[in-house]
Amino acid sequence: MINNKKVVVVLPAYKAGRTLENTYREIPHDLVDEVVIVDDHSPDDTVEVARRIGIRHIVIHPANTGYGGNQKSCYKKALQLGADIVVMLHPDYQYTPRLIPSMVYVIANDIYPVVMGSRILGRGALKGGMPFYKYVANRLLTFVQNILLDRKLSEYHSGYRAFSREVLQRINFEDNSDDFVFDNQILSQIFMAGFEIGEITCPTSYFDEASSINFRRSVKYGFGVLQTSIIHFLHRKGIINSPLYAPKKS
């Protein structure tokens, strides 16, 4: 715990059998109270590895729900465990668990209620092997999003995030997409609810075992991001009333 706040790390897993152990070993367990892994019907030995290395909280999806669907299970389980701070860490070892203390301390000390590990601050993205087309797309999408959302983040597409309990209880994340655009929908909801997001520099590593969506899925994701940003803009201006920002169901 930090400042009497319970810290839970959630691992949304799909085919993470070869990288899960390295990720888990680097989690600062003296600081983290619980670790949850949600396996999204992986065809490999992800669940077996999770059991072998001693992860206590294992949620197994009987069918593949998608990246967004996986995160929904992660956050619901963390809240059930009484988490005050939830850190979402990919178990593919693309993001270093060593940044967990920095992210958690920001929230525990009431500086920001949400923290993202940014690959764009500094030189982490290209240095870590991010494909150049993804880097360019990231910068273009982020530029447009900052205009439409009236914010100024360095990127909206990092998968390394930490949330306060209050944020997850206030926003209606369970009605979001089960696909990759979930990541941007939840950020849009966070801003619309009046919360601020802090960022810290995060190195990243792209390698064969690290999960990454292909070009076709990346294009689909990009259009989904633009759609979400336009909906945010129109809702913020009072032109439409989007259910994306409806109060969370009890």
Q: What is the CA radius of gyration of the chain?
A: 17
pLDDT of residue 64: 98
Measure the CA–CA gap between 9 and 125, rounded to whole angstroms.
23
The proportion of the chain whose per-residue pLDDT surpasses 90, expressed as a percent, equals: 84
Look up the pTM and report it: 0.93
**Per-residue model confidence (pLDDT) at position 212:** 60
Token pair recorded at residue 110: 């009431």
- Chain segment 153-209, per-residue pLDDT in tens: 999 999 999 999 999 999 999 999 999 999 999 999 999 999 999 999 998 877 655
DSSP state of 141: H
Quote the pLDDT of residue 122.
Answer: 74
User: Is the Cα torsion angle 108, 72, 90, 35 positive or negative in sign?
Assistant: positive
Whose CA is closest to 137, among 210, 226, 199, 200? 226
Stretches in the chain below the pLDDT threshold 70: 123-124, 207-212, 250
In order of their start, the domains of the chain are 7-245 (3.90.550.10)
List, as own/partner pairs, every contact residues 185-193 make where C-beta atoms lie below 8 angstroms and the sequence separation is at least 24, other chains included: 185/68, 185/228, 185/244, 186/71, 187/156, 188/149, 188/228, 188/229, 188/231, 188/232, 188/244, 189/244, 189/245, 190/114, 191/149, 191/151, 191/232, 192/232, 192/235, 192/236, 192/245, 193/167, 193/245
Reported as type and span, the H/E element at residue 59 is strand 57-60
pLDDT of residue 229: 98
Q: What pLDDT sits at residue 167?
A: 98
